[in-house]
Amino acid sequence: MLPELFFYYNATVITVLSALVVTRSNPVHSIMLMLVMFFHIAALYLFLNAEFLAAIQIIVYAGAILVLFLFVVLLLNLKKELVTQIFIVRWPLGLVAMAGLLVLMFAGIKSFTLGPTGDFTIEKIAGETHTAAIGTVLFTEYIVPFEVASLVLLIAIIGAIVLAKKQIKT
Amino acid sequence: MVELQWYLYLSAAVFTIGVFGFLTRRNIIFMFISIELMLNGVNISLVSFSHYLQDPRGQILAFFVITVAAAEAAIGLAIIISVFRNKETVYVDEMTETKG
């Protein structure tokens, strides 16, 4: 009973907060609501025995990406957003597209059945700790994608500096 | 025990709310926030698949999704800053130089 209650609480909060995030007119309010949402998603990851991902979710999403968003919002001074039209003129069309996608996905999920299970059981995670178990797979089977990810981050660092720096008049 | 289907319903709901925000908001910063919502919705389903199939690969993929989201946020916000510096606007319907 308690696990279901925990899941339903988290699911309700995540859905309501994500609906609020896309409809607020003040970007700072939206980002703060998103912070609460990320903490609830991290709680769901803990519930699914993914401690490493819960920590990464809080460190990277709440600690880095949202702070970056907040910096940009404060840098741009968006006073106009509070008084202007926040949606495009044809926003009901977006609602129709969303409803169609939702119905399609729910119809697909209903007929979903689970395939054969692997060997990443709870006992194995408890035996060698979650971070070690994930790290073993990441650094053996997925070492090439891991190195490519480091390259992607390097390009992101250089690209962000090049794009955001002031143009020097020659 | 919570059924896997409920996680997938939650993931689909978060993803479609992100799609709605991306399609309808005028402010480019909110469009980026909606993209983050969509990525989070996908991550929920990846981690729940990983748990219910007892396979670590779903969590590895979620890890890479978070990496790409960080890179995308850095590049995208740099683009927003440089557009705002040149155009003094963050509204996508006022950025019409390329006639797209």
* B78 lies within 8 A of chain A by CB: yes
Residue A170: predicted pLDDT: 62
A126, A73: one domain: no
A98: closest CA among B45, B35, B41, B22?
A: B22
Confidence label for B45 from pLDDT (cuts 50, 70 and 90): very high
Residue A155: predicted pLDDT: 94
Residue A123: predicted pLDDT: 81
Residue A15: predicted pLDDT: 95
Which residues constitute the domain of residue B36? 4-88
- Out of A96, A112, A128, pick the residue that ends a domain: A112
| Residues of chain A where predicted confidence (pLDDT) is lower than 70 | 81, 168-170
* A72 lies within 8 A of chain B by CB: yes
Structure token pair of residue B64: 């890479």
A84, A130: one domain: no
Residue B28 resides in a domain = yes
Around Cβ A18, how many Cβ atoms within 10 Å? 29
Which residues constitute the domain of residue A31? 2-112
A126, A103: one domain: no
- Please report, for the domain that includes residue A52, its CATH number: 1.20.120.1200
* A39 lies within 8 A of chain B by CB: no
Residue A169: predicted pLDDT: 66
Question: What is the ipTM score, two decimals?
Answer: 0.90
Residue B99 resides in a domain = no
Mind telling me how many Å the CA of B100 is from chain A's nearest CA?
A: 16
Task: Tell me the average pLDDT across B42-51.
Answer: 93
What domain count does chain B have? 1
Contacts of B71 in chain A (CB under 8 A): 152-153, 155-156
DSSP letter at A49 equals T
Residue B100 resides in a domain = no
How far is CA A150 from its chain centroid? Answer: 19
Residue in B closest to A20 by C-alpha: B17
Mind telling me how many Å the CA of A30 is from chain B's nearest CA?
A: 9
Residue B99: predicted pLDDT: 66
Residue B95: predicted pLDDT: 78
